[in-house]
Amino acid sequence: MGIMKGNLFRIGELAKAAGISERTIDYYTKLGLISPEKRTLKNYRLYSSETLSTLERINQLKQEKYTLEEIKDRLNRWKSVPNDSEMTEKLTELEIQMKQLERNVKELNPLLREMKPSQAREVLANILPKGAACIESLQILLNQFTSM
């Protein structure tokens, strides 16, 4: 029993590498979040190193309170992206950061309403330049897609 055959993992090796249980891998496989690359003659499932990257993305999204159904939707959307793990990692990070930003803005709103208008303006003036730059970057990115 070698540790890995090429870049393929048996379920136990994948579980250990991803830091999750074999049961979780079975569950994710059943849900269609991941799938084995192939099976051995003895019917062992073998998973690719890309599956390990996918498991890392699933973990990140779970930590951000995404449901497994939402995670499955995102993974399916990213399957249309050429198999580029750097691209899907960046997309995952961006999506997580946007979700965090949205949550932070919702939490800030009531706090700002409790302040005097002059104090609220001063607080917002500090984040305005960075916020505008961020919005502009997203607009540029999104405009590239709509003009394709």
Q: Is the pLDDT of residue 4 over 60?
A: no
What's the pTM? 0.60
Q: What is the structure's pLDDT at 22?
A: 94
Rounded Cα distance between 10 and 37, Å, is 10
- The least confident of 13-22, 67-76, 88-97 is 88-97
Q: Is 139 left (phi over 0), alpha (psi -120 to 50) or beta?
A: alpha
* Domain residue limits, the chain: 8-80, 85-147
> For residues 81 and 109, which has the higher predicted lDDT (pLDDT)?
109
How large a percentage of the chain has pLDDT more than 90? 27
Highest CATH level, class, for 8-80:
mainly alpha
